[in-house]
Amino acid sequence: MKFVDEVRIYVKAGDGGNGAVAFRREKFIERGGPNGGDGGNGGSVVFVANPQLTTLLDYRYQQHHRAKNGEHGMGSDCNGHGADDLVLQVPVGTLIRNEHTGELLVDLSDPGQQFVAAKGGRGGLGNMNFATSTRQTPRFAQDGGKGEEITLRLELKLLADVGLLGFPNAGKSTFISRVSRARPKVADYPFTTLVPNLGMVQYKDNLSFVMADIPGIIEGASEGVGLGHQFLRHVERCKVLVHLIDMGAEGEGRKPLDDFNILNAELKKYSAELAGKPQVVAANKLDLTEARERLGPFTEALRRKGIRVYPVSCATGEGMQPLMDAVAEVLFTRRTDKLYVEMPTTRRLATKAPVKKAPAKKAAVKKAPAKKAPAKKKSAAKKAPAKKAAAKKSSRKPVAKKAARKAPAKKATAKKSVRKAPAKKAARKAPAKKSGGRR
């Protein structure tokens, strides 16, 4: 089956049926009145995500899709039949965009998800709906509404958890055929893979994930060189990227480190978000002698950048388990500890820096107290007597004031006692005078 991941189609919803203009004409029934029925609704265009589909091939050859119109209304109060919706099946992961504006209308990423792209027209009302007490014989009806029409662009993005990246003939198809049941075409010439391939990987503890193998990317893919980078859309949904490096690559001046830098540059040109995803670097084809000779310099070069390299051989299976463990840890736990290593430059700086700066710090600590100590003592000695003298003077003055204030208080109490004395004597003599009067 041919793989098609992008198509342009035109969809048109059905028009609504017109309402009928009719009157009841029966024997022995005068003025039967209007009995025109309503028109039926037009069918809508509905997209449904089907997990059984993997390509948009059906829409490459049939690009115009129209839903049926609703039936017109009839006499005797008969309404027209509504048209059925036109259901279009698309693969899961299909993006639907407006062709003219480029607006993303919906992302059908869930199985069974539906989207109404064009809504059908509404049926018109018959003349029986317009009869009133003052207008008993309406001779008009309502026309049906027009169905919506739109030009759409369908883009398919495969739903995969792990994506394989690399130059042509780097061993991506061999890798996915070893870890899953996918059987893509494997040959010894570049651009063997022309369409993306999906494979289900069965990991430990009943865990599984989907891996996508996309065609190779070379320098200048953003300008259309080779197959271009249009297939990179299929790894935009991936959570982890596996970058396979061809350690046995042959060509004029071709080096593994250059391949690594070129592919990352192409990723940034396509999407900065895609270039920032977690990337597991695997050095492939270690079963070759020249590949093992290039492994040491390549590993050391990436180690200076803090990136860990996993040496593997997809042909013999060497080193595949540690690589899959690192991929599964990033995928299921979001931890990226196994993807990076400590850079050697940071270790050297950490050991040398304290040795150089330690003597300077100690000398500064010793000299500072020796210069400042005498100054502090002299200033303290000079200021101490002045403070004490002031304290003594201030202590004498308040005492004198307190004494002066207390003296009048004593006199006042004495005067009060003198004034009160006669009052007491008078109180004693008063009974004596009264007793004398009685005698």
Binding residue positions: 166-173, 191-195, 213-216, 284-287, 313-315
Coil, strand or helix at 243: strand
- Owner of token pair 């079963």: 287
Cα distance between the two ends of the chain: 155
DSSP string, 83-100: PPPEEEEEETTEEEEETT
Closest CA to 176 of 101, 235, 123: 235
Query: What gap in Å lies between CA 205 and CA 200, rounded to an integer?
Result: 15
Per DSSP bridges, beta strands 6-12 and 149-156 are antiparallel
Residue 176 token pair: 């996915």
Query: How many other C-beta atoms lie within 10 A of the C-beta of residue 85?
Result: 20
According to DSSP, residue 164 is labeled E
Residue 38 token pair: 């309503």
Query: What gap in Å lies between CA 78 and CA 35, rounded to an integer?
Result: 8
Residue 389 token pair: 């003298």
Q: Which amino acids are annotated as binding site for Mg(2+), given as ranges?
A: 173, 193
Q: Which amino acids are annotated as binding site for GTP, given as ranges?
A: 166-173, 191-195, 213-216, 284-287, 313-315
Query: What gap in Å lies between CA 54 and CA 61, rounded to an integer?
Result: 16
According to DSSP, residue 277 is labeled S
Closest CA to 139 of 302, 21, 32, 12: 21
- Owner of token pair 């059984």: 52
Cβ atoms of 35 and 90 closer than 8 Å: no
Closest CA to 74 of 147, 133, 141, 146: 141
- Owner of token pair 């004490």: 388
Residue 63 token pair: 């690009």
Query: What gap in Å lies between CA 397 and CA 119, rounded to an integer?
Result: 102
Give the strand order in the sheet containing 94-98: 64-66, 6-12, 149-156, 94-98, 104-108
Query: What gap in Å lies between CA 267 and CA 183, rounded to an integer?
Result: 27
DSSP string, 129-163: GG--SS--S----PPPPPPPEEEEEEEE----SEE
